[in-house]
Amino acid sequence: MTATPDLRSPQLASPDLLRSVFRQHAAGVAVITASGGGRPVGFTATSLSSAAAEPPLVSFGIGTGSSSWPVISETDHIGVHILGEHQQDLAATFARSGADRFAAPTRWHEGPHGVPVLDGVLAWLVCRIVARVPAGDHRLVLAQVEVGDPAGSGRPLLYHQGRFNALRD
């Protein structure tokens, strides 16, 4: 018999509990990019979600302590890149604090609205930010899709148990 938690008691969960639970949740891996102040920024995100079909909206979370937040907080447009299983190193580069994320071997070009677009990804979008919603030490960013390309080839990269993983057959 499994004990049922008393949901009436107002206990607050710890950040460690949330992290532990979400280690069990496999998520796709994306890189979010933007440009501001004459420099590109970007970070690895596993919080990307399709928010609506009409109009086409995506959402993601970003920590307000992130080195990318100052640009994301001011820019109008962002890039969303769906990574393939062959891009574990790229995901790690954009997840690493202090890394020069756009230096070689990262391949990218300037896309619509000056947004950095990564080369060789499974798919990419350029989106216009429509809202930044406070959520604790993060912001949930809601963005409307303007243009993109779903034509990359390969299989998606996943994040599970604190590691980047490939799909198994």
CA 7 to chain centre: 32
Domain count within the chain: 1
What is the pLDDT at residue 14?
81
What band does 130 get if pLDDT is binned at 50, 70 and 90? Answer: very high
Q: What is the DSSP string of 49-90?
A: EEEETTTTEEEEEEETTSTTHHHHTT-SEEEEEEPBGGGHHH
Domain with 84 in it: 27-160
**pLDDT > 80? residue 61:** yes
- In a domain, residue 105? The reply is yes
Task: Give mean pLDDT, residues 63-70.
Answer: 96
- In a domain, residue 72? The reply is yes
Task: Give mean pLDDT, residues 76-82.
Answer: 98
pTM: predicted TM-score of the whole model, two decimal places:
0.89
**pLDDT > 70? residue 1:** no
Residue 149 sits in a domain whose CATH number is 2.30.110.10
- In a domain, residue 13? The reply is no
Distance, CA of 138 to CA of 65 (rounded, Å): 8
